[in-house]
């Protein structure tokens, strides 16, 4: 090694060590401060730290009189509230913080939580859409923007990322997660935790980072038949290999909080589940932050039939490791008595309070409780031009091209007559999705507005029909228009005269998200009919889909020549869609969930196990299939096209046999043989062919986003180690077993090249 290089290496090692020991010192110092404070606290004050209330009154106005708000206000003044959620804006947060800090005996600051799910006010695409980018840097940046805006508005803790793996398109909350795959989900979990909290432990104290929360621990994405809040009944294999890995990844990345979930696991509600919260999370994984319950989930244990009353529910939740009660109002009501009666050991309370105080110290709230309440910064950061640029960039990267027959796309920039049709084409609200509490209504750029920026084409617009009837809100059921087709004729007339028809159809933004389960995956309302009517007069259709989950659109898949999956892309929706349609951005997104052919296939996912009868080898009916529809998905996991074409060749392994511990090096060449510069997500899957427990037919174990200019080619290299080659047994032990493995590399989970090797 050259001398200068050696010095550099030593210096960087020294600085890494210094950073580590700084972090250790900070940790120790914080732990000491926590102990000092804990010793001063009464039992009531300790329990108060474990109590979280939802925002309750116009805090900067007069004190509330009567009802729930008055009770919460009184509790706040007594020091019986440790955290609040949904209070936002520097003015409001400063006002509640002032009560906690200046009017209570110990002046312990509140930690202020908020659902920053895909942005705060300037919204990025829904998380499922972001996952479709497979672009970890972009996802991290989009999360940083969210953290910046939220922290500038008084918030210091988000209830995200949602790391629930789900294979169930009927479940509305798939829009909040990263899709069906635990490997992709883990990588995205890390990117999001770092985006919110920063890269090092010390970063959490910065003013533009906030504490993250991995949720919902655990199994929530497996709600039976996709029905919200439903029973979860999964095997240990699924728990250890599919559900837990993204949570473990978030924990390893230093996530400071976890939220438990509404569901049962093996008959025990997650909130009262000490196997999950104490044995795995705080035990095996050594998590030293705190666990917040989901909304009223302590109380809901009564409905589950797991506790006879609020008192028993409280005891079970606290003993099982649920540290802070979100809106059950039970800890604050029951816990002091439970301890005084000797029914709950004070050690559980002390443990919870230590964890909560630790995170408050780490955020720097004790040094300056008003650090997130700088009105000037709020004005400067929230909605800044930089943030709009960032969410636009993320939105373009999230779009997936599903079909493009005869290169109908990209549209020509001039000389084309384009008819824009569809109830969502001029919608400025729906693209914001359902988690957009701080965004202004109707603040998205619509597709119409985005396309109008391309002025050299003749663009006409007809809605064709309304999607919904009446007002759509976060708390009400969406009502669809199923009868009014009075706009069809005008839309058909416009379509007739156009060279290309762009149709924007799909789900309403409030149709996915929490409590938005469906039993159909089609285009709601009269949209399918509108699509087919327009097709009769002009089949040159580009279908732009807006949706928060996989849809099943067999007719469109067969007839419509070009289909663009544009999800709900947030504030900059219309600009992103227009830039992709006009070819100013070449789409590179890939589906993070399989799209079924019909809803009856659900749950459908690529990393399934083999059956005993996977193929029709006997040429009769007795094999694993459906009699009425192909068993494959419409579009598989990892699928997505580009305006250019990529060719894969020369898949090679550096050896055919490996000793334990040796790295498996996989290389292949990829060439851009089409007419555009473009990006491709090269995907690597493995199969452990024979193992002590059945293994999936394929598992994603690596991917790389490769940018290739037209005519360019590159060699892509993947290294597989024991971290990728093993699996968890039914007791949660990680095993790497010798034997034959397959490696697959390709453009999606279905279209791959394969090689085999032997692990000795």
From candidates 56, 134, 290, 295, binder to ligand NOJ by CB under 6 A: 295
Distance CA 182, CA 177 (A): 11
Our CB check for ligand NOJ shows the closer of 94 and 215 to be: 215
Residue 84 CB, nearest distance to ligand NOJ (Å)?
12
Cα 376 to Cα 263: distance, rounded to the nearest angstrom? 42
Cα–Cα distance between 299 and 269 in angstroms, integer? 11
- Residue 120 near ligand NOJ by CB under 6 A: no
Task: Tell me whether residue 140 or residue 215 sits nearer to ligand NOJ (CB atom).
Answer: 215
By the rule CB under 6 A, 294 interacts with ligand NOJ: yes
Q: Does 168 bind ligand NOJ (CB under 6 A)?
A: no
Cα(399)–Cα(431) distance, integer angstroms: 13
Return the ∠ at Cα 586 (arms to 118 and 553), rounded to 5°.
70
Q: Are strands 264-265 and 268-269 parallel, antiparallel or unpaired?
A: antiparallel
In angstroms, what is the minimal distance from the CB of 257 to ligand NOJ? 11
Q: What is the dihedral of CA 388, 389, 392, 398, to 10 degrees?
A: -120
Q: Give the nearer residue to ligand NOJ in terms of CB position, either 294 or 378.
A: 294
Confirm or reject binding of residue 215 to ligand NOJ (CB under 6 A): yes
The smaller minimum CB distance to ligand NOJ, of residues 69 and 459, is found at 69
- Rounded to a whole number of angstroms, the minimum distance from the CB of residue 290 to ligand NOJ is 15
DSSP states of 714-753: EEEEEEE-HHHH-EE-TTS-EE---EEEEEEEESSSSSEE
Q: Phi and psi dihedrals of 728, rounded to 5? A: -95, 135
Q: What is the CA radius of gyration of the chain?
A: 27
Q: Which of 294/699 has CB closer to ligand NOJ?
A: 294
Per DSSP, the residues of 644-708 read: S-EEEEEEEES-SEE-TTPPEEEEEEEEE-SSS-EEEEEEEEEEE-S-SS--BS-EEEEEEEEEE
| Residues 679/705, Cβ–Cβ less than 8 Å | yes
Q: Is 514 in the site for ligand NOJ (CB under 6 A)?
A: yes
Can you name the residues that pair with 696 across neighbouring β-strands?
609
Cβ 310 to ligand NOJ, closest distance in Å?
19
Min CB(190)–ligand NOJ separation in Å:
20
Decide: is 157 part of the binding site for ligand NOJ (CB under 6 A).
no
Residue 300 as a binder of ligand NOJ (CB under 6 A): the answer is: no
Q: Which is nearer to ligand NOJ, 124 or 634 (CB)?
A: 124
Report in angstroms how near the CB of residue 550 gets to ligand NOJ at its nearest.
21
Q: Report the C-alpha gap between 614 and 633 in whole angstroms.
A: 15
Minimum distance between the CB of residue 163 and ligand NOJ, rounded to whole angstroms?
Answer: 12
258 binds ligand NOJ (CB under 6 A): no
Q: How far is the CB of 215 from ligand NOJ (least distance, A)?
A: 6
| Residue 215 or 315 with smaller CB distance to ligand NOJ | 215
Q: How many residues does the chain have?
A: 760
For residue 199, what is the DSSP state? S
Comparison of 117 and 543: residue with beta carbon closer to ligand NOJ: 117
CA pair distance 121, 517, nearest whole angstrom: 26
The candidate with the shortest Cα–Cα distance to 108, out of 96, 126, 123, 125, is 96
State the Cα–Cα distance between residues 626 and 545, nearest whole angstrom: 27
Q: What minimum distance in Å lies between the beta carbon of 295 and ligand NOJ?
A: 4
Nearer to ligand NOJ by C-beta: 262 or 685? Answer: 262
Kindly write out the interface string for residues 456-485 of this chain, putting x where it contacts ligand NOJ by CB under 6 A and - elsewhere. ------------------------------
Q: What is the C-alpha separation between 666 and 123, in angstroms, rounded?
A: 39
Cβ proximity to ligand NOJ: between 159 and 240 the closer is: 159
User: Which of 166, 120, 165 has its CA nearest to residue 143?
Assistant: 120
DSSP string, 390-447: HHHHHHHHH-EEEEEGGG--SPPSSS-EEEEESTTTT-SSGGG-S--TTSPTT-SPPH
The structure tokens listed for 685 are 């899957």
**CA-to-CA distance for 757 and 666, rounded, in angstroms?**
11
Residue nearest to ligand NOJ (CB): 159
Instruction: Report the residue number, 220 or 643, with the smaller CB distance to ligand NOJ.
Output: 220
C-alpha distances in Å from residue 723, one per residue of 662, 705, 736, 746: 12, 21, 9, 21
Q: Measure the N-to-C terminal CA separation of the chain; round to a whole number of Å.
A: 34
* Options 115, 180, 325, 688; binder of ligand NOJ; rule CB under 6 A: 115
Instruction: Give min distance, CB of 149 to ligand NOJ, in A.
Output: 18
Do the beta carbons of residue 357 and residue 38 sit within 8 Å? Answer: yes
Biggest alpha carbon–alpha carbon distance for the chain: 82
Q: Is 159 in the site for ligand NOJ (CB under 6 A)?
A: yes
> Would you say 262 or 582 has its CB closer to ligand NOJ?
262
Q: How many chain residues touch ligand NOJ (CB under 6 A)?
A: 6
Nearest to 222 by CA among 213, 235, 212, 211: 235
| Active site annotation includes 294 | yes
Binding residues for ligand NOJ restricted to 411-430, rule: CB under 6 A: none
Write down the least CB distance from residue 183 to ligand NOJ, Å.
Answer: 23
Are 661 and 722 in contact by the 8 Å Cβ rule? The answer is yes
Give me the least distance between CB of 535 and ligand NOJ, in Å please: 40
Set 135, 148, 164, 294: catalytic member = 294
Displacement of CA 218 from its chain's centroid (Å): 15
According to DSSP, the residues that pair with 517 across neighbouring strands are: none
Catalytic residues: 294
Binding region for ligand NOJ (CB under 6 A):
115, 159, 215, 294-295, 514
């Amino acid at each position: 090694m050259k001398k200068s290089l050696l010095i550099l290496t030593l210096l960087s090692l020294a600085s890494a060590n210094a950073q580590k020991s700084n972090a250790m010192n900070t940790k120790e110092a914080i732990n000491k401060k926590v102990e000092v404070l804990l010793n001063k606290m009464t039992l009531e004050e300790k329990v108060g730290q474990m109590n979280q209330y939802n925002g309750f009154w116009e805090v900067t106005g007069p004190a509330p009189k009567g009802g729930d708000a008055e009770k919460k206000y009184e509790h706040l003044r007594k020091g019986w509230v440790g955290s609040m959620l949904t209070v936002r804006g520097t003015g409001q947060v400063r006002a509640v913080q002032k009560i906690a800090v200046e009017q209570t005996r110990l002046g312990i600051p509140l930690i202020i939580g908020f659902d920053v799910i895909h942005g705060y006010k300037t919204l990025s695409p829904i998380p499922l859409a972001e996952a479709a980018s497979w672009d970890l840097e972009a996802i991290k940046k989009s999360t940083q923007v969210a953290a910046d805006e939220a922290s500038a508005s008084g918030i210091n803790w988000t209830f995200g990322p949602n790391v629930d793996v789900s294979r169930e398109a009927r479940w509305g909350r798939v829009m909040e997660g990263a899709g069906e795959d635990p490997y992709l989900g883990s990588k995205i979990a890390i990117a999001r935790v770092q985006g919110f909290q920063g890269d090092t432990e010390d970063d959490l104290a910065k003013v533009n980072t906030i504490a993250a929360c991995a949720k919902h621990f655990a199994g929530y994405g497996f709600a039976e038949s996709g029905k919200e809040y439903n029973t979860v009944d999964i095997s240990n294999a699924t728990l250890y290999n599919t559900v837990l890995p993204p949570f473990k990844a978030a924990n390893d990345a230093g996530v400071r909080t976890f939220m438990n979930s509404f569901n049962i696991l093996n008959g025990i509600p997650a909130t009262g589940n000490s196997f999950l919260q104490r044995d795995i999370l705080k035990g095996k994984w050594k998590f030293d932050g705190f666990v917040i319950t989901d909304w009223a989930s302590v109380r809901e244990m009564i409905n589950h039939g797991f506790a006879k009353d609020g008192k028993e529910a409280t005891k079970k939740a606290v003993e099982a490791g649920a540290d802070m009660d979100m809106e059950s109002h039970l800890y604050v009501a029951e816990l002091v008595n439970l301890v005084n009666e000797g029914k709950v050991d004070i050690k559980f309370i002390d443990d919870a309070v230590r964890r909560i105080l630790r995170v408050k110290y780490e955020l720097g709230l004790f040094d300056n409780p008003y650090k997130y309440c700088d009105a000037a910064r709020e004005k400067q950061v929230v909605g800044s031009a930089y943030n709009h640029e960032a969410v636009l960039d993320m939105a373009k990267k999230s779009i997936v091209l599903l079909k493009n027959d005869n290169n109908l796309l990209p549209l020509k920039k001039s000389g084309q007559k384009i008819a824009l049709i569809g109830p969502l084409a001029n919608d400025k609200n729906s693209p914001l999705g359902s988690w957009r509490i701080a965004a202004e209504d109707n603040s998205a750029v619509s597709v119409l507005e985005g396309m109008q920026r391309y002025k050299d084409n003749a663009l006409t617009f007809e809605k064709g029909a309304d999607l919904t009837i009446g007002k759509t809100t976060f708390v009400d059921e969406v009502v669809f228009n199923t009868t009014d087709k009075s706009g069809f004729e005008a839309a058909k007339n416009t379509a007739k005269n156009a060279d290309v028809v762009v149709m924007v159809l799909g789900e309403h933004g409030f149709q996915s998200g929490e409590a938005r389960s469906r039993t159909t995956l089609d285009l709601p309302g009269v949209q399918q009919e509108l699509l087919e009517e327009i097709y009769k007069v002009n089949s040159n259709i580009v279908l732009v889909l807006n949706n928060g989950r996989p849809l099943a659109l067999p007719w469109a898949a067969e007839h419509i020549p070009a289909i663009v999956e544009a999800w709900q892309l947030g504030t900059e929706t219309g600009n992103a869609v227009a830039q992709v349609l006009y070819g100013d951005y070449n789409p590179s997104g890939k589906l993070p969930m399989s799209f079924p052919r019909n809803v009856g296939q659900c749950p459908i996912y690529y990393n399934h196990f083999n059956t005993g009868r996977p193929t029709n080898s006997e040429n009769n009916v007795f094999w694993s299939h459906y009699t009425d529809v192909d068993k494959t998905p419409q579009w598989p996991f990892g699928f997505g096209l580009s305006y250019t074409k990529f060719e894969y060749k020369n898949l090679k392994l550096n050896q055919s046999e490996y000793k334990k511990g040796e790295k498996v090096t996989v290389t292949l060449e990829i060439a851009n043989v089409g007419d555009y510069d473009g990006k491709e997500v090269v995907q690597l899957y493995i199969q452990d062919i024979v193992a002590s427990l059945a293994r999936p037919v394929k598992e994603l174990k690596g991917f790389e986003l490769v940018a290739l200019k037209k005519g360019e080619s590159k060699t892509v290299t993947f290294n597989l180690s024991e971290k990728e080659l093993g699996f968890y047994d039914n007791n949660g032990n990680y095993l790497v077993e010798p034997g034959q493995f397959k490696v697959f590399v390709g453009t999606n989970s279905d279209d791959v090249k394969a090689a085999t090797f032997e692990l000795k």
